[in-house]
């Protein structure tokens, strides 16, 4: 019989809220900054939206967008820092969560130790979490980049191991809930933990490699399954 989990770790982007909402606002901020720099802001904005759609976690998106917008490569060093800063400093007033997320997080927190593990620029991720209004429900939240930059991002296990220590739960007794097999499911596998994949957001069509404990279509469905798994730990052997 598989050992039941004792704690839960949730992803942020495209797990608790649709990341496209944040990216749309950040791209607009870059377009505005591009106009202020004397560029065709609409063209830069459109190029950045295209680059983000090709993969939002790839580095150098602003550079590629400027080149696609017809900006000479030699001009990039003088332009990129301000535009990257516009992206990084974007602070949305609010970001909509997926249906049932606040209630689901509250239910999980009542059942077991709960934390959030997310990749990305710490300033950006903090702004996202604040805009969702979920911070009170996720007092333990770790941005992997604070542990070593991009090298610490999932599927590197360093963040999950750190959260295991913080929560006081063995790493292999955690249950990870996230949308990306190559990150959320893979990081769980790296420490011998279990994972539930939610098929939604930017990577909804990504193949199930590695395979999760279960694949569901919504956060409430993931919570229901997680609560069932957690309840197994409360049943005497």
pLDDT in tens, the chain (237 residues): 478 999 999 999 999 999 999 999 999 999 999 999 999 999 999 999 999 988 777 779 999 999 999 999 999 999 999 999 999 999 999 999 999 999 999 999 999 999 999 999 999 999 999 999 999 999 999 999 999 999 999 999 999 999 999 999 999 999 999 999 999 999 999 999 999 999 999 999 999 999 999 999 999 999 999 999 999 876 554
d(CA 73, CA 65): 11
d(CA 127, CA 28): 16
Give the residue from 174, 197, 135, 141 showing the smallest Cα distance to 3. 174
Q: What is the pTM of this model?
A: 0.92
d(CA 48, CA 46): 5
Give the DSSP per-residue string, 162-189: HHHHHHT--GGGEEEEES-IIIIIHHHH
| 8 Å CB contact between 36 and 19 | no
Taking CA atoms, 86 is separated from 13, 36, 83, 129, in Å, by 20, 11, 5, 18
């Amino acid at each position: 019989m598989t050992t039941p989990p004792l704690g839960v770790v949730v992803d942020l982007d495209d797990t608790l809220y649709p990341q496209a909402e944040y990216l749309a606002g950040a791209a607009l901020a870059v377009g505005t900054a591009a106009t202020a720099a004397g560029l065709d802001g609409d063209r830069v904005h459109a190029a950045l939206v295209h680059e983000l759609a090709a993969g939002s976690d790839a580095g150098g998106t602003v550079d590629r967008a400027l080149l696609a917008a017809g900006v000479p490569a030699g001009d990039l060093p003088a332009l990129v820092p301000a535009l990257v800063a516009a992206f990084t400093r974007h602070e949305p007033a609010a970001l909509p969560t997926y249906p049932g997320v606040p209630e689901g997080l509250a239910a999980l927190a009542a059942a077991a130790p709960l934390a959030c593990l997310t990749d990305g620029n710490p300033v950006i991720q903090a702004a996202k979490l604040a805009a969702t209004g979920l911070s009170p429900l996720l007092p333990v939240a770790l941005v992997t980049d604070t542990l070593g930059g991009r090298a610490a991002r999932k599927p590197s296990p360093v963040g999950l191991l750190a959260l295991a220590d913080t929560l006081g739960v063995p790493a292999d007794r955690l249950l990870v809930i996230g949308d990306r097999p190559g990150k959320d499911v893979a990081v769980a596998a790296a420490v011998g933990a279990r994972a539930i994949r939610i098929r939604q957001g930017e990577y909804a069509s990504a193949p199930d490699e590695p395979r999760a404990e279960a694949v569901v279509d919504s956060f409430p469905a993931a919570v229901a399954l997680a609560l069932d798994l957690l309840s197994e730990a409360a049943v005497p052997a």
